[in-house]
Amino acid sequence: MTTPYDDIKSSILDAAMMHVAFDGWSEATLKAAIADAGVEPALARAVLPRGAVDLALAYHQRGDQQMLEAIRAMDMTEMKMRDKIIAAVRARLAVGDKEAVRRGMTLFALPQHAGDGAKALWATADLIWDTLGDSSDDVNWYTKRATLTAVLSSTVLYWLGDDSEGDEATWAFLDRRVGDVMQVEKLKAQVGDSPLLKPFMAGPNWLARQIRAPMRRPRGDWPLGAGRS
């Protein structure tokens, strides 16, 4: 359910898209978008208190929601988990505009915003796993999201430089990266099933449970408002 603030933010974001290619996710873009959307500047600042950074995050969160809708529309009944993950990541990239994403990467590469970018990618990975029905509650909960975050970040970087027909080179790269991750998951499962090696996982599993509690809050409680459009 959207709120008036969500609608205002969405209007500003819509207006911003034509400016991002020229001015990036910047104060200039924000001011132009506010004017184009016909929103009172004071109200816009209340909706986006950190200005252009919040606008860039709103763009990322919109993409997450569009990805979620695409995943839910897919029939994944007969798909293996690796194929579900690939389909989800492809769906996420499909809703992104390369220039807008490139400008966002530039913004979140700045030291003062690097934490925001990392949290946004983590939220995307968390959303994918939750949507695919992940029910892990041990060290796997953390490592699945950490490895998928790495897959997402490396695939996005590859995609930004890909000029192949239909981004085929990116999809091949994604297939290899997910294959690597699944090999790691297979190894972890073998360790977990081994009477000899299983005790060594007790410490990591305990640590992951301590980390998981604050990380897995309802989406509306994320500092970035992850999952909201």
pLDDT digits (tens, 9 = 90+) for 111-133: 999 999 999 999 999 999 999 99
36: left (phi over 0), alpha (psi -120 to 50) or beta: alpha
pLDDT score for 195: 55
What average pLDDT does range 178-206 have in this prediction?
A: 55
What was the pLDDT predicted at 229?
35
CB atoms within 10 A of CB 9: 25
The alpha helices in the chain, defined as continuous H runs, are 4-23, 27-37, 41-47, 52-73, 81-94, 98-108, 114-131, 139-160, 168-193, 202-215
Q: Is the pLDDT of residue 88 over 50?
A: yes
Least confident residue range of 15-24, 34-43, 182-191, 194-203: 194-203
Tell me the two tokens of residue 5: 């603030």
Contacts of 6 (CB under 8 A, 6+ apart): 228, 229
Give the range among 84-88, 127-131, 143-147, 220-224 with minimum mean pLDDT.
220-224
Cα separation of 99 and 117, whole Å? 16
Query: For position 228, what pLDDT does the model report?
Result: 36
**pTM for this entry:** 0.81
Residue 147 CA from chain centroid, whole number: 13
